[in-house]
Chains A and B, each alone.
Chain A
Amino acid sequence: MTRTRRLLVDPIRCDAHGLCAELLPEMVQLDDWGYPIVSDQAVPAHLLGHARRAVAACPTLALLFAEAEVAQPARSRR
């Protein structure tokens, strides 16, 4: 069991400002209307800082961290 952090978008709060995709393009793509499609993978360690920045920058606080216990060990990415 490993504790990992994933990213979630609150679709009600999200207003398609798009700062998350600017700050974390590795995990956030925008759809045709400018709303984010967020990777459901655990945030890799080397992106955690950028993810925190994206979460803090969201104008509507719609980008959230979700703590999750996952069964499989997080794949190490280098």
Chain B
Amino acid sequence: MLVAATDPKALWYLTRSFGLVSLILLTVTVGLGVAQLVRYARPGLPRFLIAGLHRNASLLAVATLAVHIVTAVADPFAPIALIDAVIPFIGRYRPLWLGLGALSFDLLIALVVTSLLRQRMGLRAWRMLHWAAYACWPIAVVHGLGTGTDARTGWVQLLYVVCVGLVLAALAWRLSTRWTTAPVGRRLGGAAATAVIVVSVAAWASQGPLRAGWARRAGTPSAQLAPGAPTPGSHR
């Protein structure tokens, strides 16, 4: 934060880095959540430890997302209001892709709050709501690619590949576990739906944010794209 006072670009760097840190934390949260479902435990790694890590990783993700959001709002370059972080699709700056971030953040808050109140709200309602985790994570990934300042940076792409790979492995782990009562048909349906989503997102990404000129097509206000303003090729 000290740097923020000296370099106006610092806020933008903080937004991007904390977005990536949040992606890592959310991926870890999903993985640990699935580890609980498949009843993973080892002598040095008891069940309650995995449950606690799952909880703490999700709470930490809320904290890093708070930094991600506050720095994005405070950054004078992009016209993002605080309310754009909560209410999706109303902003002026890349409304669709920013809106997906807001949607994902809303889902995460709902997941965290209901989990903290799990004992009071009862198991059935909590469990239904917790399915939203499987929407929260992919929406966050599409938000990251779509707002996509760094979607064309090599090591960020590697990070995305690793995170997506981890979550897919977790899903496969869950679908193949003996600890589920879901019938085979529904499990295959889940696997097929996942495959369709992965292929469509990959196809969209290769045509969209992974190609040049995405900033203009993503709905960046023309003021930010005007000559003299940083262009998609530069750090924006």
Contact = CB atoms under 8 A, between A and B. Distances in A.
Interface string B99-133: 00000000000000000001100110000000000
4 smallest A-B Cβ distances: which pairs?
A61-B123, A22-B46, A22-B48, A19-B47
Nearest to A15: B179
A57 B123 contact: no
B36 interface: yes
A17 B123 contact: no
Contacts of B36: 59
B58 to A, nearest CB: 15
Given A19-B51, A61-B119, 18 more contacts: A13-B123, A17-B39, A17-B47, A18-B47, A19-B47, A19-B48, A22-B47, A22-B48, A23-B48, A55-B119, A56-B119, A57-B48, A59-B36, A59-B51, A60-B123, A61-B118, A61-B122, A61-B123
A57 B36 CA distance: 12
A63 to B, nearest CB: 10
Interface string B45-59: 011100100000000
Interface of B: 36, 39, 46-48, 51, 118-119, 122-123
Interface in A31-70: 55-57, 59-61
Contacts of B122: 61
22 contacts: A13-B123, A17-B39, A17-B47, A18-B47, A19-B47, A19-B48, A19-B51, A22-B46, A22-B47, A22-B48, A23-B48, A55-B119, A56-B119, A57-B48, A57-B51, A59-B36, A59-B51, A60-B123, A61-B118, A61-B119, A61-B122, A61-B123
Contacts of B118: 61
A18 B47 CA distance: 8
A56 B51 CA distance: 11
A61 B125 CA distance: 12
A74 to B, nearest CB: 25
B200 to A, nearest CB: 33
Contacts of A19: 47-48, 51
A55 B51 CA distance: 13
A18 B51 CA distance: 12
Contacts of A55: 119
Contacts of B123: 13, 60-61
A33 B93 CA distance: 57
Contacts of B51: 19, 57, 59
A59 B47 CA distance: 10
Nearest to B123: A61
A60 B118 CA distance: 10
Nearest to B55: A57
A18 to B, nearest CB: 6
